[in-house]
Structure 1
Amino acid sequence: MRGPTKTFRLVATLPLVAALALGGCSDQLGNAPAPSPARIEFVPKVRGIPYFDAMDTGGLEAAKQLGVVWHTTGPSTTDPAAQVTILRDLIAKKVDVIVVAPNDPAALAPVIAEARAKGIHVLTSDTDAPGTQREVFVNQASARGIGTALVDALMAKTGGTGQYAIVSCGQAAANLNSWIAVQKEYAAERYPKAELVETVYAGEDEDAATTLAKQLMAAHPGLTGLVGECTTSAPGVAKAVGDQQKIGQVFTVGVGTPQAIKPYLLDGSCSQSVLWNVESLGYLTAWTAKQVADGKPLNPVNKVSLELPAVKYDAPSKTVLLGDPLLITADNVDQFKY
């Protein structure tokens, strides 16, 4: 028996083609199409600085491996209102997940509540917004781990004595303030002969940090130490020490990204940077956002990737913890490319 003619085969396929054209949302078996990938929007404190660029790199790598969409929209200023505007725009766009590093947690609380009311998941990363409706905080390291490491690094250079000051960034930044609280308590207990004389705030502006550090050295002639509390103030205070020709007299430590702080580690104006793998923080942030979007529970210990085989989750505080801080020196700084 002869098979169907070409004309018959063409006619037979027409209903199927029509069904696909009309349905548009079904495959040839009548099944619903695969859901579109989760859209994750990351809102850093400010755009265009190496730290958040490195987080973005890690997030993009995770998105490629996990099958999600990762996009970063950062404000040009650390004014909390700028982040509020961005979040409202993302709510209007109906993204799936918003991840924010808040400049001012209190200022973001209402708009975070708005997003949750619209069914949009909200996480914090790098900086928390306690007391808001955020679902998970992706924390880079514990406040105690960072705070004690900064103090120990500075006191190793000053002999545990003398006057020192802190140049922080956002005055309302929850992560920085939690580290400073640990530093004050730990230094008073462990190094009673050292005196914290002043804490000042430079926003996320490296030049402002340099200016403030010079003013601190002028106001306190006996100053022997400076702490740059964030990734823009850490190189800023080191530059100030070099500019004032006080290398070896005023020691600095800080939370600096490796390549930004490298020149100052090499010339001795910065003794040590206390950080973490920032790209890994971005990767973990994207992974956590996907878990939340998929409705998957976080376990006490999570295998995220080969590089992150045992990430801890604390259910009471709803916090994912990247791990212990890294100590970056002139000897190991070239291991990190960001």
Structure 2
Amino acid sequence: MKPGTPRHGRGAVSNETSRFSATTREAVDDGWFPEEPLMLATEVATEHARSIITRNQSPDIPFDQSVNPYRGCEHGCIYCYARPSHAYMGLSPGLDFETRLFAKPDAPALLEKELAHPGYRCSPLALGANTDPYQPIEREWRITRQVLEVLQRSRHPVTITTKSALIERDLDILGEMATAGLANVQISITTLDKALALKLEPRASAPHRRLVTVARLAAAGVPVKVMIAPVIPWLTDSEMERIVEQAAEQGAVSAGYILLRLPREVESLFAEWLDAHYPLKAAHTLSLVAFAHGGRIYDSGFGRRQVGSGDYAALLARRFHLARKRRGLAAELPGLLSTLFTPPGQRQLELF
């Protein structure tokens, strides 16, 4: 199919070759085969990593270590900042990112080994820093569940970011950990418009279903922060106040937002998506994105990349601050405890 043609259940509308590839691919109609089907099946391969904890020193990221059970994400969010990472696998940040996935079945064992290392220093570990730990393939692979079991046994603090109702499956673990001050959750809600969400993030839980998840997590005693991520100029920016209001009604204790980021290939993928679905809004949306990032589509500077700069960004910040204040929501979730951590293996020794 020619680039720019939306496929059912997928976010990207093209599949450009990896920027690291020595060759490029171009579809040619030679008359022998019919057009590719609109539906694309999901393929999952296993990845056997040597280590599982990823560390960062970014000043505008509220955690310094994370675990990603999967590479690529079936949710297909067109705006996902993790898309360019698929190029390192020789695959496209476009359709490949959401259809050719990698699962890490060794993640729980690797995590247990790394937590047991004598030099390990405990600090909250983030799940969902790159791709969603509760994307649809987690139903079958259950790697996230097994990672949580390791953390629960070790009494290790964890923070989770997701846009999937599947997290409710693990309320038995999260509720117990939250009671001990060891767990909190961020639920990402981009829009309350179901039709728009179906195009933006086609295989993520519907917006109203995510609000139900907020309520169920809160009822189980898990502190929840709703992240309006990303705020998309001219498409979703008008919804800020309504999302904050409904999040508060469902029991969220905190709220935050991130302005649309379009690094590397995400810029062209998002522009194609706009042309395919909202051609009359495309130019204005991209002009506002640039206006909010100092005249560039993407500004990677710390302190600016997530909230932007200039008059438009300042207006968004003011609106959000007032909405959050009006509903009595905090800027951040309560801190997690690191003092309860018991390295794997030590609890068994305590029995003797």
Q: Which TM-score tier does this pair reach, normalised by the shorter chain?
A: 0.3 to 0.5
User: When the two structures are superposed, what TM-score results if normalisation uses the length of structure 1?
Assistant: 0.33
| Greater strand proportion | 1
> Between Structure 1 and Structure 2, whose CA radius of gyration is higher?
1
